[in-house]
Structure 1
Amino acid sequence: MQRRLDGSFYRLRLNPDISAPDVNDEDTDEQAEEESSVGGGLREERRRGGGLFAHNRRAQRGVDGQMYEKAAVKFKPQLHITNGCHAYPAVDEAGQTGGGLKIKGAPSAGCKGSGWGSQVYGRSGWYQDVWAIMYSWYFPKDEPSSGIGHRHEWEPVIVWINNPDVENPKILAVTPSAHSGYHTYAPPNAGTVDGSTTKVAYESHWPMDHALDSTSEAGDFQDLIMWDQLTENARRALNSVNFGSANTPMNDGNFQSKLGRAWPFSS
């Protein structure tokens, strides 16, 4: 067995049956149709059974592999769900991806989390002599208000640090995704950072869509997996699968351009 970056063992697999409503939840199963491109319901990776995501300690651009992984864990953000869906795994080790949810029912109908945990996807690298760590979450739908929105949602936040290879790396800026662009906090506000972790809110910007922003509200941590730790099949899927109105921010086709769009410094 191999260990997740956080140090705990993990297994992931898809599971089609998450249709049972939450206890004391006013939204019923009829309010959300769960669909998947690979059969069954909304696909979710459970932390039991199945195989392991590969753990590939490959160094990036001269930075020691263990150092960049440790930095990714150290600066992993908290996610506070203000409204809408909770984050879900997007892909399993075989490269199967979920089909998301139709826009139907309440904004959080059918996607309030299953109790099996979730995933945050990380990718990091140098950009203009600053180390960028992108953390990305997948949501089954983006429904800012009942009946408005689209199937699938990806939202990233980028934490910019001086260097993962120094003894005490420091946060220089945080750029949460905001519609087609990014909010810029350089440096981040003191109330939005707890130790080495930034606090990020997933919130509705009615009537447009959901977006991320920095917040003083505490949130939850998700299991982190870095791009290089994904299996080849999982990376291939995230590079090629069409998520409709959402695009995978950390894949090979988007990662560098997203960093450029989110660049928080004037020079």
Structure 2
Amino acid sequence: GLKPTGDAGGDCRDFKQSGQTYSRVGKSHDRWAVLYSYYLPKVQGKEEQHRHHWLTVVVWLAFDTCPDDARVFSRRGVSYSTSPGNFDTIRPNTLFTDDEYGLGTHHIVAYDAGQPIFPSSSGPVSALRPPLVGWQNLPSLVKEQFNGMQYKHTKVPFSDNNFQGFLDAVYSDAFYKDMPIGEDCGSDDPPQSEIDPDFGEALPTSTAPVAEPTDDALRR
């Protein structure tokens, strides 16, 4: 079921599994962002069909105060992965649902078995919420595994080697039009638990994807 043929779902859509969705908080151009990535064992789009794929969304934020009150922020934009290394930064119609604090911070996305991920138009009623694991809560050995993964057709977006490059590549000045860069809060960066309270500890049953070694050059 993992070959890029047959059923597009490949009997791989078990959303009760833990550890398939990962998040990491960072900055680019002095702006805060949260990167979310969902692992797929295969992709079966019109242009490419191959094993291993990461669906990635980056939510850009602006903080109204320094991280002493990190929950005081506003959404500025969303970047959607369209293919490995490429993102759409101009979609204005993202829907959000409230978190436990009543803030509309959770973006609702859709996927149709191809490479791109895009804004959902149906709202949160039937939306799935697979488990979310924050990078900073992963055990060191798991981080090392992700940092060492090499795929033929994609990259791990949130690994130490790739994370900053992904944020820099998907940033758009249009997200922060007419908004000055906020006050420098020094080294008091908000922890991921404050920016995204839904991330959790990696569970013992986490199913971290295993890459197949390849000598081919990585393609973005």
Pair in the same fold by TM > 0.5: yes
From the superposition, tell whether residues 193 and 114 of structure 1 become closer, same or farther in structure 2 (CA, over 3 Å).
Answer: closer
Do residues 211 (structure 1) and 150 (structure 2) align?
no
Which of 41, 50, 57 matches 1:157? 57
**Residue 178 (structure 1) aligned to one of 70, 79, 82:** 82
Secondary structure of the residue aligned to 1:133 is: strand
What is the rounded CA distance, in whole Å, between the counterparts of 1:199 and 1:185 in structure 2?
Answer: 16
For residues 253 and 116 of structure 1, what CA distance do their matches in structure 2 show? 26
Identity of aligned residues (%): 27
Aligned-residue CA RMSD (Å): 2.2
Matched, 1:120 2:34: no
Q: TM-score, with normalisation over the residues of structure 2? A: 0.65
Question: Do the aligned partners of 2:24 and 2:135 also contact (CA within 8 Å) in 1?
Answer: yes
1:102 Cα deviation from its structure 2 partner: 1.8
Between 226-235 and 162-171, the greater mean CA deviation after superposition:
162-171
Map 1:35-46 to 2 at 5 A: none
Q: How many residues align?
A: 160
Q: What TM-score does the superposition give when structure 1 sets the normalisation length? A: 0.54
1:192 aligned to which of 81, 89, 95: 95
Alpha-carbon shift at residue 123 of structure 1 (Å):
0.7
Deviation at 1:168, TM superposition (A): 2.3
Please tell me whether the aligned partners of residues 54 and 156 of structure 2 are also in contact (alpha carbons under 8 angstroms).
yes
Find the counterpart in structure 1 of residue 101 from structure 2: none
Distance 2:88 2:16 in 1: 31
Q: What is the one-letter code of the residue matched to 1:237?
A: Q
Is the contact between residue 27 and residue 167 of structure 2 (CA under 8 Å) also seen in structure 1? Answer: no
Distance 1:150 1:234 in 2: 24
Q: Would you say 1:262 and 2:170 are equivalent positions?
A: yes
Please give the secondary structure, in 1, of the residue aligned with 2:5: coil
- 1:201 aligns to what? 110
- SS at structure 2 position matched to 1:247: coil
The answer as to whether partners of 2:29 and 2:168 remain within 8 angstroms in 1 is: no
- Letter of the 2:57 counterpart: V
Larger RCO, structure (CA 8 Å, separation 6 or more): 2
1:210 is paired with a residue whose SS is coil
| CA displacement at 1:185 relative to structure 2 | 4.1
Give structure 1 stretches of 5+ with no counterpart.
1-31, 33-100
Give the superposition deviation at 1:114.
Answer: 6.3
Spell out the pairing of 1:13-24 with structure 2 (5 A cutoff): none
Q: Structure 1, residues 142-161: CA drift from partner, whole Å, max 9, x if none? A: 0126xx60011112100011
Q: Determine helix, strand or coil for the equivalent of 2:73.
A: coil
Mark the CA change 1:103 to 1:184 in structure 2 (over 3 Å): closer, same or farther.
same
- Paired residue type of 1:251: S
Unaligned runs of 5+ in 2: 98-103, 178-220
What's 2:42 paired with? 141
Which residue is equivalent to 1:35? Answer: none
